Structure 1
Amino acid sequence: MNQPTFLNSINPLIPGGDDLEKTVIFYEQQLGFKRIHQEGNPIYMAIVKRDSAQIFLLKNEDKHLAEGTSLRINVNQIEQLYAEFQAKGGKMIHPQGKLETKPWGMKEFVVLDPAGVCLTFCEPADQDLIEVKN
């Protein structure tokens, strides 16, 4: 029996700013990602990963491109992740992006990386809305 097509994780390529090493260190030290690959010396591309979330960071000096880039990362146990980031000083959390439940039913908070990319960490507020993994 053929199984239906199923889309798995997405691995975005995002601008990492003109100092990519600084951005990678931010993802490692502040967000708990692990560098799994890099290219160049100085680096011009790096891959960071945490659990199933994998992001390709590309050296890019166009600040407007970075500031116009936004990702939503679905998480489990968002309160725990928020507390983890708070324990690291919480400076990475956007002042207007603190953890809250939005009208569309998601608990979420916002982090800006050093290049200006907006990362929204989110989880359904009603656990009954979580889709069962195959």
Structure 2
Amino acid sequence: MLTSINPKLPMRNKAATWEFYIEKLGFSLFGDYEVYLMVEKDEIQIHFFEFRDLNPLENYGQVYIRTNNIEEWYKQAIDKKLMMPKAGHLETKPWGMKEFSLLDPDHNLLTFGQDI
């Protein structure tokens, strides 16, 4: 039986990743090791591994996060002036989801979605 999934994303700088996820997005620290960081919020965890030579413009790390309060998450992203890709603003998709996307400091794409 599968019980959960915890994506692992690259990070160049642990302090910048910490600031983005904990201070800006409101995640809590789950584990902090020299070259590895784990954060959690509600029922999800995201893990990060050190990749100092990562070129953020060539990073294809992506996570899809389902939520039941998409409007609150979007407002928080706008209020905090978080980086969104050009096509990342809140919209209803043909597959029945309301979605928006953010880019973290290493250009990992976080897409937030809610069933409509």
Q: Cα distance, 1:79 vs. partner?
A: 0.8
Q: Cα distance, 1:8 vs. partner?
A: 3.2
What are the residue-to-residue correspondences of 1:25-40 with 2, within 5 Å? 25-40=19-34
Q: Cα distance, 1:35 vs. partner?
A: 1.6
Of 60, 63, 67, the residue aligned with 1:71 is: 63
Of 82, 98, 101, the residue aligned with 1:107 is: 98
The structure number with the bigger radius of gyration is: 1
- Return the letter of the residue paired with 2:4: S
Moved over 4 A (4+): none
Report the CA distance shift for 1:119/1:54 in structure 2 as closer, same or farther (over 3 A): same
Counterpart residue number, 1:24: 18
Give TM-score scaled by structure 2 length: 0.88
Q: How large is the RMSD of aligned CA atoms in angstroms?
A: 1.8
Higher strand share: 2
Report the CA distance shift for 1:124/1:66 in structure 2 as closer, same or farther (over 3 A): farther
Report the CA distance shift for 1:38/1:109 in structure 2 as closer, same or farther (over 3 A): same
Aligned length: 115
Unmatched 5+ stretches in structure 1:
126-134
Give TM-score scaled by structure 1 length: 0.77
Counterpart residue number, 1:116: 107
Distance in 1 (CA, whole Å) between partners of 2:59 and 2:41 is 23
Answer yes or no: is 1:96 the counterpart of 2:87: yes
Answer yes or no: is 1:86 the counterpart of 2:81: no
Distance in 2 (CA, whole Å) between partners of 1:83 and 1:65 is 26
Higher relative contact order (CA 8 A, sep 6+): 2
Answer yes or no: is 1:54 the counterpart of 2:45: yes
Unmatched 5+ stretches in structure 2:
none
